[in-house]
Amino acid sequence: MPGLSGIFRKSKKLEKKGRMKIEATGISGKTYLKAMPLRDLSDVDMVKSEVNSGNILILRITPLANKSIEDVKRAVNELCEFVESVGGDIARLGEERVVICPPTVRIWREKTPISNKPMPTAA
């Protein structure tokens, strides 16, 4: 039975093309998806560094939320401002996680249709 490793390998041509695209954007190396907890406000600098390196981060904010909700608000506001300044993207993933992407990656958001009909209200 043939191994699966060959199926998941990129061809040399695709690999070279991908490298050229990354080099053209100014981000060197590979893009990694990293999951990490946000334990302290000082972790925000590490997150910024990772995004500047071109990595995608999934942050679990529960450890910091257990210490201080105010610190969570400060950290998320600082990260939102940072991501906007570098042209990246940020979104919430449920109640406990936030995803942060570098400028080369966009987060897809479903557009909800806007209706002109009045919203039903409970009587």
pLDDT tens readout for residues 20-65? 444 444 555 789 999 999 999 999 999 999 999 999 999 999 999 9
Name the percent of the chain lying above pLDDT 70: 69
| CA distance linking residue 92 with residue 113, whole number of Å | 21
> Is residue 33 helix, strand or coil?
strand
pTM for the structure as a whole: 0.67
Cα separation of the two ends of the chain: 65
Domains of the chain, earliest start first: 30-107 (3.30.110.150)
What pLDDT is stored for residue 110 in this prediction?
84
What pLDDT is stored for residue 17 in this prediction?
47
H or E segment to which residue 43 belongs? helix 43-52
What pLDDT is stored for residue 119 in this prediction?
61
Tokens of 120: 């039903």
Q: What is the mean pLDDT of residues 84-95?
A: 95
**Burial 25-50, CB ≥16 within 10 A → b, else e:** eebeeeeeeeeeebeebebbeebbeb
Confidence of residue 112 (pLDDT cuts 50, 70, 90): confident
What pLDDT is stored for residue 111 in this prediction?
81
Residue 63's alpha-carbon distances to 33, 55, 58, 59, in angstroms, are 20, 22, 14, 10
